[in-house]
Amino acid sequence: MKRTNISVFIPHIGCPHRCSFCDQRSISGAAHAPSPEEVSALLEEQAPHLAERGMQAEIAFFGGSFTAVPRDYMASLLECAHSAVQKYPEVYDGIRCSTRPDCVDGEIIALLKKYGMTAVELGAQSMSDEVLQMNERGHSAEDVRRASRLIRESGISLGLQMMTGLYGDTEEYVRRTCREFIALKPDTVRVYPTVILKHTRLGKLFESGEYRSFGFEQTVDLCAELLRDFTAAGIRVIRMGLHASQEVEREMLGGVYHPAFREIVESRLFLNDMKQKLLAMDRGHYVIYTDSRNISRAVGQKRSNIAALHGLGYDVEVKPLDGAYIEVR
């Protein structure tokens, strides 16, 4: 059965900080905090459409600070979601939210459990306290560890979110964040390269020349490492890069953004694996066989992988072979 999210954005309300990179209106396209009545109406409206298409959905409260909103408001939204799950169990099979690591405690966990929360994602962003401080996150790496333990011990699925290329970030800090995430054993991870938006502190630092994020190619290579390491650890990477958004494209000043960023990263990972096999062979003409599902990854956008291998002295064709990953002949 196909799966999706019914996303409800709760922008800014309750968040005690204004992080250097944050402009939720540009990221989510939302400026209005929905009422419980609006959420109930949305879920009622979507239920028959989802059923008609044979889809199941999680109800997702996004915005980054769900458990920091006023308690009564949070409970009223959870009640709407819980009621929808009970009324349409064949359609709605869970509730998830994203929140800050310093806004999770035993009382919050008990409330989330009461209303059937199935997954909580923490906006950790980095496990470097230096990077967190420089970007005014208002929490520490230890807050991430503590909140992660509480969520996992409660039986709620844990998701962790990280960013690359923040103010003060380095490749080693990113790799350290990856290693620490793996140690925390989340079920899912999201990876967001930094996008520099207008009307943010990062935007001002960028315009003054004080801050430069990682370059595009550097970020692709780094994210290919992350995807490889998380996958090897059995952790699902459910998002790589911001979702496609005209608002983001209009408001961005710099950083790394592409509507097909994950596909580019997967293709780079495939290129690295092809290189590893070919570099042990003499230069020349080869046919690489791979499953038909991998053909576009192997070839690369605009045949970029074929061109890269050609530059190394390998004239490569890619052909389908059911069940193969990379078989060189």
Q: What is the pLDDT of residues 257-292, one digit of tens each?
A: 999 999 999 999 999 999 999 999 999 999 999 999
Listed by start position, the domains of the chain span: 2-259, 270-328
Whose structure tokens read 């699925």?
A: 157
User: Which runs of E-coded beta strand occur in 241-313?
Assistant: 252-255, 284-290
> What is the phi/psi pair of residue 254, to 5°?
180, -165
- pLDDT tens-digit readout, 49-80: 999 999 999 999 998 889 999 999 999 999 99
What's the pLDDT score for residue 63? 86
What's the pLDDT score for residue 32? 80
- pLDDT tens-digit readout, 196-226: 999 999 999 999 999 999 999 999 999 999 9
Measured CA to CA in angstroms, residue 74 lies from 15, 40, 65, 97, 224 at distances of: 13, 14, 11, 11, 37
CA distance 22 to 1: 35
What's the pLDDT score for residue 28? 44
Q: Answer for the pair 284, 316: CB distance below 8 angstroms, yes or no.
A: no
- Say whether pLDDT at 115 is over 70: yes
- pLDDT tens-digit readout, 1-38: 788 999 999 876 656 656 787 765 544 445 688 999 99
Q: How many residues does the chain have?
A: 329
- pLDDT tens-digit readout, 148-187: 999 999 999 999 999 999 999 999 999 999 999 999 999 9
Measured CA to CA in angstroms, residue 215 lies from 70, 222, 329 at distances of: 39, 10, 35
What's the pLDDT score for residue 29? 47
**Domain topology for 2-259:** TIM Barrel (3.20.20)
- Say whether pLDDT at 144 is over 50: yes
What's the pLDDT score for residue 11? 77
